[in-house]
Structure 1
């Protein structure tokens, strides 16, 4: 059983998520605490959560974790100040009422253990009473009062030394005042401008002019875009740019004066003014600038990670090319093009190396077309997946020419091969194909990406698949966590074939880990194909909880029980069988028109009441029975098939083309229109209306109609538009 949830934290989470009811939040957190996974809760516990989806469940979890972390930090701080015998009721109330970790840290700052400072030394020398005297704004001479504290034994030989010491005490005290930091932080955030200039030798370090647009740059802090922040950070790190956060300090000095001096007068005023000006210059100003720069960076990182995650999800969810014999074509010049053919189920059949391009010898180039033609005919290849790397353009021309001599309908697709070489050299690839060279494994990966993008891409480090934005600038730990979440979501939404899934695919299934996934495959290899979901209970290390979490996402095609090829959970098989009884049908009729007509007449509410299942569960079961073996990806755009070759020289302004969206970034989308280089559709050219986020309009894998805007042959750049020429 889960531990009792803290009622205070529950209220904070509920207040932070007004669109989700308290009952849903409590139920969700209890389910997660009981060891249930988010995909399982989202799919099979809808009655308990009120049908929260995965995004909402993660939001509940993240919000709870945030407030729990905040509560833990408050406890640590209160305990620390208590140990110092410095905790007052007012301070405890302030810490308890704080709503952010930053507020807590501001309040804790005066009590935080720190290195021995000039202010500490001045206090040890006995100058604290003098500091308090100054804050009393007495009319007596400051120098006369200071003279009372002269003590050569404590390194206070004269009035000047005494004033310097008390200055340090006041400056440090002002810097540790939480309300001062809060105002200055908020004011700077609202009014500052981020300014960049090129360093004296910055241009030498920036030979290609990558950061040229930031040599003289100024932008209000509140209007900084994520890509600007990350680019500026990189330029600063590379030694090209000097970066500062500039703000008019008059308002800050006026605030200091109002809070420390007010309407009071006297000789001490000048000393106080000098102290607060110095505390801003030395302590608060630089600290706030660091905090706000970090705030910008954190927000930019979060945004970049989100962009990458969204693109990765759509890449993984691309429609598979089912039931086709596919040839993977890994292009190359000198070392030859590596070919690998897979049957309709992705099983590797054969390999071939051909040499159609220079600098291969003339005799090998002459033989390449015939060898390729015969290889296609031998295996009756229906689809060719050409990698988009080196020699891709020449290989596409070669393939197109050979296909003209084949009477069958054979088409080709240009496949993004990003990460294929990473997989090919991995231990997983060596284990799967120990007798093949790296390049031959790469050809298999390219072909399988077309057959089943999800199953193949999960074998590759997500950061290597080429759909990110500044992914090398963001924290690796956070990026990896987000991408793992995306992969988990995609894999469980689709489900996997228990008899063909690799261990790399299975380890992303709800409830499974790498060890159990390997055991699932090992059991299959030792005992033959799975024919019943219950066989999973015999897999080593796959206990009752793991079985409960995983089994609904694992499909068996052609097994003993057709229900095993649906996403109906075995715990709901009695309900499914009751539905079959009510419709006078059986499991062999699942998905048929007869079954759909019979279920259309059923009363879902009555079934829910009679079986004790919830209405949401009954609805999901009916949908699953109507579409056994369904694949969400079948509703996604199919790959864009090509017969002939287009070159960048063929492109003319106004030309209409179809293309595949390869990447979506902050300022637009890159589209593959069948030439070597992807074209950019700028955000302003996606649609006639204003768009803040290109992902509102397009996603990776979308097939879009575009028009050529301009072509720069020298720089090999293509500008595209999704606005019809007469709509510009």
Structure 2
């Protein structure tokens, strides 16, 4: 275990003691949010990002340790474990390298090489390779068998014996860990990832056309971006594309390949025209073509996919975090509109607490076209309930429904009603929530279609509280989310939701079961018990009352209490992030000040007079005391940004209304490494390629924007037929004397490269060209 701790500390660049303390806390059942927030002294201030990395690496290294022990035991039982081999196995840093070392000793079916060894041909193979001046034909005569073996093996001719030599040598070389790793790393650096349209496939078929950029594509495999790799792998899985790993230089017919040359170099052999050299060259070629080429391709494709999946999962996680921590509209009455054409627009009004108070369905669009009747119904609902905001789902008929809301707001303003704002919100996952068991419990007598409108309304009030009711994978802010490891995706997204919920804190007296179950230490069953207690006894008056909930013991209380808020309870500290275990520390501060807690909270000038060092002790150090003071200064603070609304341009309702040069306001709906997708309210997201985000070099789009941001963009190109919109955020002229646009000064790599054979083409710096914009816009159809 100490070696694991040492390795993690080196990887995270932190102290071994910090890692050991974190490992011990995790082992005792503490959660990452709890450790990051309330055990900073123990871990030396490791944050949740470090702790999540530590948790993942700890699991991997423990699995590696267990596998290493199994490998050592297997080889030892075979009587083949030498001190040198043991040392190599114990030093193997990855599962891949461990398996490379184990390969020659792995129990398996009899191979041709084993059969040849059992027939006694191995001495001949050793002799010919050690001394190529020997004549293979003559030397093989002594190994020819008079008849076939009992298992049918046939070494009754010289040719068969020499084939046995080939099988022995090629198998031995193909199981040489140093050679395998050397070839693997060389091909990762220089091999090409190549794809083409599968034989017999029609390139104009709609299902195939979306992969057009990959019909004739190759790129160095070690530099293939995540989205391209996953696109090719998806096309391959659908049997639309053929993909393979090719050598950087294809060999001439009849000539050895570069890979064969590297094998020969590793063996220290070269063809010198000696009698056995032709046979050895044949063995080298067999080693590559039969033994190593396919296995190396498989290994590198696995590595490429795993690396691509890590990036895709990170993109999803980052976008989900931004969406969950989006600005809440807060305690305002909201009308949710779930747009539809023939089925009508579903309407739900929720009060300031999120309670559903009214529903309706209006039919402003085809075929009824009851525009005036719809306005009348909506106006009555606004007047009756005092609606402050209108939330409009971004699905089918969203733009038409947005226009309806605009007309409604104008009429209400004319009638003297208070100003009402409208906001288009993502409805991803609303249908999943509507049909869920929790939705049926929450709104048992409400039609499924109307539940979606209620969810859309609540998303505006508090995105975090509403979106936790939905499986994160259904929220739709990922790229290629169905192509990645689903277990790893679920684990990562679950961690994001947990971190976000605990960073914001949860109102103990209003939180739903799904929200409570994401609080540190609270399982779904305990969350249900908390709600049952609340329904039976009324609102919690103090955190200490949690101990009365069945199934909630001292350990769970320790993990959860600091993240649960009680507003207007018996103790004002219960509405803050101050943990109950540190209330005595606060009391000592109050004793010094001679004031009750209500007169201290929120008074920065008074709190700044407190010296943290004076109240630190063996259990709670200065770091914890400083955190307490921050909470007292801004009690119940919300880390999320202030709420604001993007305003879509009047008259721009469809992609056909867009023109080059238009400057529009929109909301970032999704972010990938290569760019950001912008919702302009025209049913089709536009793409700002990473090269168009800023006049400065941008390596990753999230350096500039995040999901939910409201941005101004200019239209570069519009292709209504293919539903492609290319945008730029570079609205002003480039600064004089700056670094040339789009070029990385460190490497000279030009950022304007389209996917198809992109590593060979270079586009001029400047505005996004048609080929590049179109190629990246295609990704919109594949990113989910």
**Farther off after superposition, 181-190 or 568-577:** 181-190
Asked if structure 2 preserves the Cα contact closer than 8 Å seen for 1:400 and 1:645, the reply is no
Q: 1:15 aligns with which of 10, 14, 17?
A: 10
Does 2:653 match 1:647? yes
Does 2:286 match 1:278? yes
Asked if structure 2 preserves the Cα contact closer than 8 Å seen for 1:583 and 1:599, the reply is no
Does 2:470 match 1:463? no
Residue 733 of structure 2 aligns to a residue whose secondary structure is helix
d(CA) in 2 for partners of 1:301, 1:278: 33
Cα offset for 1:134? 2.3
Cα offset for 1:140? 4.4
Aligned to 1:96: 90
**Farther off after superposition, 508-517 or 574-583:** 574-583
d(CA) in 2 for partners of 1:318, 1:244: 42
d(CA) in 1 for partners of 2:271, 2:477: 62
d(CA) in 1 for partners of 2:132, 2:267: 14
Aligned to 2:269: 262
Cα offset for 1:206? 4.4
Asked if structure 2 preserves the Cα contact closer than 8 Å seen for 1:24 and 1:50, the reply is yes
Q: 1:431 aligns with which of 436, 441, 444?
A: 441
Residue 435 of structure 1 aligns to a residue whose secondary structure is coil
d(CA) in 1 for partners of 2:716, 2:262: 54
Residue 143 of structure 2 aligns to a residue whose secondary structure is coil
Cα offset for 1:10? 2.2
Does 2:192 match 1:193? yes
Cα offset for 1:254? 2.8
Asked if structure 2 preserves the Cα contact closer than 8 Å seen for 1:637 and 1:701, the reply is no
Aligned to 1:333: 341
Aligned to 1:696: 703
Does 2:430 match 1:420? yes
Cα offset for 1:195? 1.6
Aligned to 1:393: 399
The 5-angstrom pairing of residues 525-674 of structure 1 reads 525-592=535-602, 595-608=603-616, 613-633=620-640, 635-636=641-642, 638-640=644-646, 646-648=652-654, 650-674=657-681
Asked if structure 1 preserves the Cα contact closer than 8 Å seen for 2:648 and 2:664, the reply is no
Q: What TM-score, normalized by structure 1, do the two folds share?
A: 0.94
Cα offset for 1:108? 0.9
Does 2:357 match 1:344? no
Aligned to 1:218: 218
Does 2:137 match 1:143? yes
d(CA) in 1 for partners of 2:267, 2:627: 66
d(CA) in 1 for partners of 2:52, 2:296: 31
**Farther off after superposition, 169-178 or 145-154:** 145-154
Asked if structure 1 preserves the Cα contact closer than 8 Å seen for 2:668 and 2:709, the reply is yes
Asked if structure 1 preserves the Cα contact closer than 8 Å seen for 2:128 and 2:134, the reply is no
**Farther off after superposition, 520-529 or 699-708:** 699-708
Structure 1 residues 508-561: Cα deviation after superposition (integer angstroms, max 9, x where no partner): 111111111111111111111111111111112111111100010000111111
d(CA) in 2 for partners of 1:403, 1:416: 21
d(CA) in 1 for partners of 2:7, 2:32: 22
| C-alpha spacing 1:276/1:341, structure 2 compared with 1 (3 Å) | same
The 5-angstrom pairing of residues 440-479 of structure 1 reads 440-479=450-489
Q: 1:375 aligns with which of 375, 381, 392?
A: 381
Cα offset for 1:584? 3.0
| C-alpha spacing 1:324/1:641, structure 2 compared with 1 (3 Å) | farther
d(CA) in 1 for partners of 2:205, 2:657: 34
Q: 2:300 aligns with which of 292, 308, 315?
A: 292
d(CA) in 1 for partners of 2:141, 2:456: 84
| C-alpha spacing 1:413/1:505, structure 2 compared with 1 (3 Å) | same
Cα offset for 1:424? 0.2
Cα offset for 1:144? 2.5
Structure 1 residues 269-295: Cα deviation after superposition (integer angstroms, max 9, x where no partner): 322221121011011111111101111
Aligned to 1:124: 118
Q: 2:56 aligns with which of 58, 62, 85?
A: 62
d(CA) in 1 for partners of 2:456, 2:40: 39
Does 2:113 match 1:133? no
Residue 15 of structure 1 aligns to a residue whose secondary structure is helix
Residue 245 of structure 1 aligns to a residue whose secondary structure is strand
Does 2:37 match 1:49? no
d(CA) in 1 for partners of 2:86, 2:541: 63
Cα offset for 1:131? 2.2
Cα offset for 1:432? 1.1
Residue 203 of structure 1 aligns to a residue whose secondary structure is coil
Does 2:26 match 1:32? yes
Cα offset for 1:205? 8.1
Does 2:316 match 1:311? no
| C-alpha spacing 1:530/1:676, structure 2 compared with 1 (3 Å) | same
**Farther off after superposition, 111-120 or 62-71:** 62-71
d(CA) in 1 for partners of 2:690, 2:179: 42
Cα offset for 1:597? 1.7
Does 2:79 match 1:79? no
Aligned to 1:676: 683
Does 2:503 match 1:493? yes
Structure 1 residue ranges without an equivalent (≥5): 1-5
Aligned to 1:105: 99
Give the aligned length. Answer: 716
Aligned to 1:3: none
| C-alpha spacing 1:549/1:127, structure 2 compared with 1 (3 Å) | same
Does 2:186 match 1:177? no
Structure 2 residue ranges without an equivalent (≥5): 250-255, 735-766, 768-784
d(CA) in 2 for partners of 1:718, 1:162: 66
Q: What TM-score, normalized by structure 2, do the two folds share?
A: 0.88
Residue 479 of structure 2 aligns to a residue whose secondary structure is coil
Q: 1:515 aligns with which of 511, 522, 525?
A: 525
Aligned to 2:782: none
